[in-house]
Chain A
Amino acid sequence: MPHDVTMPQLGMAQDAGRLVAWLKAPGEPVARGDVLFEVETDKSTMEVEAQADGYLTGVSAAEGDDVPVGQVIARISDSPEAASSEAASSEEPAGADEPAGDSGDVGDGGNGGDELPDGAVVTMPQLGMAQDTGLLIAWHCAPGDRVAADDVLFEVETDKSAMEVPADRDGFLAATLAQAGEEVPVGAPVAIISATAPGNPIARPLDRAATPSDNASTGAQEAPPATVAAEKPTAMQTGTRVAPTVDGRILASPKARRQALEEGLDLSRLARAGHPQPYHVKDLATLRALPDEAAPGPATMAASRHLTAELPREAFSDFAAWAAENAGLTDEAALLACLAGGCLGGDEAIVAHEACGRRRLYLVPAGPLGGATEVEDGDPDIVLRDLRLTRVSGLRLGAEAAPTLTLMAFGEGLSLTLECAADQLTAADALALVSDFAGRLEQPLRHLL
């Protein structure tokens, strides 16, 4: 076992030492404790002792050299000549002539099949962080081919991309241990490259290839779907982004909150759309791009007006009774339609009256009460939804095709709600409509005057 001789750190602020003199010559036997060389630092000259028995070899620093602390300047080896050959063999990667043992292991795998040729084993590389198998797409060399280190041996597909795997050493493709289309566990042998031309090159599918038993159990047939890790689209999203919400709180950075506030964006929409929290400024781009939640269908509009008024119940019912008795106006729905149509102020209006699941359309001319006639069809200018007989006491249904007035029982009295889109009525018109209609219901005789 050779022992490295390094430049020691002899002073606190020392990063290099000057080699003053060697006290042993290359090849000379040394004993532990013998002085090997002298070093000069800014303070003093010191002797450095051998830390092992052996022969001084591989001397790489000369007297007078300034050598950085920690640099190997020689070795103490088992033999006087060991230096050069040792250095060479220990630096060399497990090469073409070495892995005979490896390939033997490969062949021992239990099916007692073909003897695998000697050579270096090429394994399925790990090409991505979360990758545990690779799909062998295609072989670029055939068994028996001569290959050079740079030659592409086969192609692998991972979650992200297809990559080419080079042979990495010169030789012959002596065995292929998986076929195109097979999912090969990372680390499992895929090919053997021999130094000499193989007499009988082998080509096997993966399940015949006796992969080491631990690989076999987690092997190709159990390979998890390749799409599992594909969810994270960008390289920066490597960490955990969880989607917890405690009490419906949205987790977002202060800057993201401030910008959302400034732009009138609602961060909870990101949560509802399933984007993982916490939210940062870059998530606001996603939020801006989200389609409108209440996608405006033909009948609904995004921005709606919602106004409510309260009024006593008796006024209108007394009036209805009076009208039925004295003017023969027994259709209470028509009566209401007239009151509503009158509020619109045009020449005539089509009013839809909805009650008890039934919808009737009235053409309401301008002028005295009672001229309403029921019509078969038409686009209503206003909808009157009469829910006085239901238990509904409040609603928020959004705007519809026409402004909608809803009458509901409210305690001892009535409540009147107007819902409409912003472009159907201006705020002022909506307010006027509600207060006018409420006034007419409360004092129907006003309408007659």
Chain B
Amino acid sequence: MTTVTIDTIGIATSRSRSEAMRRAARRRKHLTSVGLALVSVVLVFWTLLPLYNIVMVSFEGHGDVFSDSIWPPVPSFDGYIAVFTQGYWYLANFWHQFGNSVYVGAAVTFLTLLIASAASFAISRMRIRHGWLLSNAALLTYVIPQSFLAIPFYRIMQNYGLTNNLWSVIAAMVTFATPYAMFIFQQYGRSIPIELDESARIDGATPFQIYYKIYLPLMAPALVAIGTYALLLAWNEYLYQFLMLSDKRSMTVPVALASFLNSDEAPWNYMMATAIVYAALPVTVYYLVRGRMTAGLTMGGVKG
């Protein structure tokens, strides 16, 4: 491109030629913007189609679900009313189950932050001997596909007597969230000067004081990011919750949602309304925290 420009300057006397060049450049620009617009339209369509389907079905009346319409003929709030009033036998425990999901999410977030920050503090700030062993153990856990451990995990939870107990799910989710948290905490912790710890130590601070009063406050951005990650991991996870929680009262929302599929009449509009209520929290959290999370910090989101 540049060489062409230089040529143009060389024969700048020929006006008509430079005029033609400019027209060609303009045409190319037009073509590019048409191409970009095309890509954008395809992307929006591709991205939104399954989501549009959720919204559309959730606003359909019972009779309209089994029709060939591509938008709700008569928008109906039946689905949402059923969810909010628990007005359908599949939804009889919905808000209790929603509470279970909140409980699991909160516990997983808190425990992951606590356990991972303490271990990372010992490894990278107190520099314990063989700390690298712990780091490698965490990294190795991170690359085990979760679903591969599900069967033995289910069996040992039976051994621990924790089936139909939310704590079995909490244990599983903390196990899978902690490694990534440690990975990020150790990376982020490198930006905090170790001299801070050392001067506090000389002033007589105990390790716990250093952890609580220096390390944690300075790690706040990483704590927010990892807290979000752990919350979403626990909220979105399905397999372990499905295996561990079979009782209606101990179920979480995803398990309840999937159990709809087994019903013969398949109330799709109720299901999709439930799906929207369920998805509202992670989507809101995601867009709220997005600005604070670099792409890297959300890496662990892959493990679904």
Partners in one complex: no
Using a CB–CB distance below 8 Å, which chain A residues touch chain B? none
